[in-house]
Amino acid sequence: MIRRVFKKNKKKSKLDSFIKKYHIPREYLSVNRKAITKGLLVGIFWGFIPMPFQMLAVLAMTPFFKFNVPIAISMVWLSNPVTMPFMYYMEYHTGALLLGKPHLHVELTLQWFQNNMGNIFIPLYVGTLVYAIFVSTGVYYGVNWLWIHSVKKEQRHAKRKKNRKK
């Protein structure tokens, strides 16, 4: 099922001409289980990291890993101005809990952040790494399992359909 969603929307001729025109390695746009799941892993990982230019961090990883770049970049957009405060608040509290530091009462004002940046920086990034690693890895393995499960289900269905025709 998951595989079919990605495979069905593939426009061969347009994609091929785009790849040839801009000399893009095919691996960065390929639609297969490994490329998609690695793209999800990389994109969600960087999406949890509070930093500017998260999409550039994804692109910086392309020489080292082969993954679907559009999927990875779109996953970075999960952390947007609407979701960021909730994500970073959750990450800060998790980091403070893991480090055994007292939780500060957070106010959403520039003055509060300027006064408390030293107190929240370390707990924020400890919590960030926990969520970035565990959520991205969980999504990677979850989608990988779903993909394999859907392929096996399609194969069983095709086998049953073939046996009925005989």
Please tell me the pTM assigned to this model. 0.80
166 residues of the chain, pLDDT tens digit each: 555 655 555 556 676 777 777 677 777 777 888 999 999 999 999 999 988 899 999 999 988 988 999 999 999 998 888 888 889 889 999 999 999 988 888 777 888 878 888 888 899 999 999 999 999 999 999 999 999 999 899 888 888 887 877 6
Residues 36 and 143 sit within 8 Å (Cβ to Cβ): yes
Q: Phi/psi at 52 (nearest 5 deg)?
A: -75, 160
User: Which residues form the domain of 81?
Assistant: 2-165
Identify the burial level of 9 via C-beta atoms within 10 angstroms of its C-beta, where 0-12 means exposed, 13-18 middle and 19 or more buried: exposed
Query: How much is the pLDDT for 111?
Result: 86
Number of folded domains in the chain?
Answer: 1
Query: How much is the pLDDT for 8?
Result: 58
